[in-house]
Amino acid sequence: MSEKVLMKGNEAIAEAAIRAGCRHYFGYPITPQTELAAYMAKQMPKIDGVFLQAESEISAINMVYGVASAGKRVMTSSSSPGVSLKQEGISYIAGSDLPALIVNVERGGPGLGGIQPSQADYFQATKGGGHGDYHLIVLTPASVQEMADLTALAFDLADKYRMPAMLLADGTIGQMMEPVELPAESGCTVEKPWAVTGTKMAREHNIVNSLYLVPEELEKTNFERFERYKAIEENEVRYEEFMMDDAEVCVVAFGIAARVSKNAVVAARKEGIKAGLIRPITVWPFPKKAVAKAAAQVKGFVSVELSMGQMIEDVKLACDCRVPVSLCNRAGGMIPSPDEVLAAIKNMQGGNA
Residue numbers of the site for another protein (CB under 8 A)?
A: 1-2, 4-8, 11, 15, 31-32, 35, 39, 42, 108, 113-116, 171-172, 175-179, 182, 256, 259-260, 263, 332-333, 335, 337-338
Output 42 or 230, the one with its CB closest to another protein: 42
Output 89 or 117, the one with its CB closest to another protein: 117
Output 19 or 72, the one with its CB closest to another protein: 19
- Single-letter amino acid code for the residue at 54: A
Cα–Cα dist 217/139, whole Å: 31
Q: Least distance (Å) from another protein to the CB of residue 268?
A: 15
Q: Least distance (Å) from another protein to the CB of residue 135?
A: 29
Q: Least distance (Å) from another protein to the CB of residue 137?
A: 26
Burial of 332 (0-12, 13-18, 19+ CB in 10 A): middle
Output 38 or 58, the one with its CB closest to another protein: 38
Output 260 or 325, the one with its CB closest to another protein: 260
Q: Least distance (Å) from another protein to the CB of residue 43?
A: 8
Q: In what order do the strands lie in the sheet with 239-242?
A: 239-242, 275-280, 249-252, 300-305, 325-329
Q: Least distance (Å) from another protein to the CB of residue 112?
A: 9
Cα–Cα dist 182/326, whole Å: 37
Q: Least distance (Å) from another protein to the CB of residue 177?
A: 5
Instruction: Please report the DSSP string for 272-317 in residue order.
Output: T--EEEEEESEEES--HHHHHHHHTT-SEEEEEESSSSSHHHHHHH
Three-state secondary structure call for residue 249: strand
Question: HSE-up of 6 (CA within 13 Å, CB side)?
Answer: 2
Cα–Cα dist 265/295, whole Å: 17
Output 33 or 62, the one with its CB closest to another protein: 33
- Single-letter amino acid code for the residue at 162: R
